[in-house]
Amino acid sequence: MRWAVLGAGHWGTALAVHLCRQGHTARLWGRHPETLPGFMDFTCLSPVFPDIGFPSGLGIGSDLAATLEGAEGVLLAVPSHALRTVLATIPQALLPPDLLLVLASKGLELPGALRLDQVLDESCPTLPKVVLSGPSFAHDLILGKPLAMTAAAANMDDARRVVEVFASDQMRVYSSDDVAGVCLGGAIKNVLAIAAGISDGLGNGDSARAALITRGIAELHRLGTALGGRTETFMGLTGAGDLILTASSDLSRNRRVGMGLGRGLSLEAVLSDLGQEAEG
């Protein structure tokens, strides 16, 4: 299957490599052409993963139309604030009715706090859409470490298609039709992870973090179900699972933002040091 992967950051790159390892072809597109030359010697995945060799089946470029030409699936891994803009720049001729859209971004669109699946529905109302989410770091995926995710779609046949594409000995993928719950879990946990980081930055200790995560799961459930998600979703991979990972690992950008704030740094200084998007 031919895939276009929009978003050449750590997550988009790792997912593109995973697709190639599964026998698919993927063309990776980046919003910022100035960040792409490091890829262009086609020997390693510099600058995001300089120690990983460039896989066969992977292409890369900054021409959106060329990236989408002939694609059977589009994987969206751009930041939440850029999703609508990127979708609006895609020529309709490159969006055939059977093109499968897979959303791998987490967050909410601001202002308005729309879920990202709602942004997809407004931008591409007729195309099949699947949300791929769960407790997963790009670093673990690209190194071949085991992880589990959820593919959610209104049409379960579409969700099962994505399960077949991404499932491997490394990655277990479950299917769901709770699109709202999966998207909400991936967004709400970002804020709670910042709170956990603030607690650690203040030196409150492991016990406080455990309490915060546990009560955070309860809050995630209450808010998420009030907004239309289901209990089992928030108790599963895309709710509690994603929160536990994001709130407890130093690889988490949102947790690192919180730690910086807890240590007294300004938000501007923290984000400057981070050098990457933090959706919380």
From the annotation, which residues make up the binding site? Answer: 7-12, 106, 138, 253-254
3-state secondary structure 179-242: HHHHHHHHHHHHHHHHHHHHHHHCCCCHHHHHHHHHHHHHHHHHHHHHCCCCHHHHCCHHHHHH
Point out the annotated binding site for NAD(+).
7-12, 138, 253
Helix 179-201 and helix 116-123: axis angle, to 10°?
140
| Annotated binding-site members for substrate | 106, 253-254
Token pair 């603030």 is found at 198
CB atoms within 10 A of CB 228: 13
Supply the residues annotated as catalytic.
Answer: 189
Find the distance separating the first CA and the last CA of the chain, reported in whole Å: 33
- DSSP state letters, 82-97: HHHHHHHTS-GGG--T
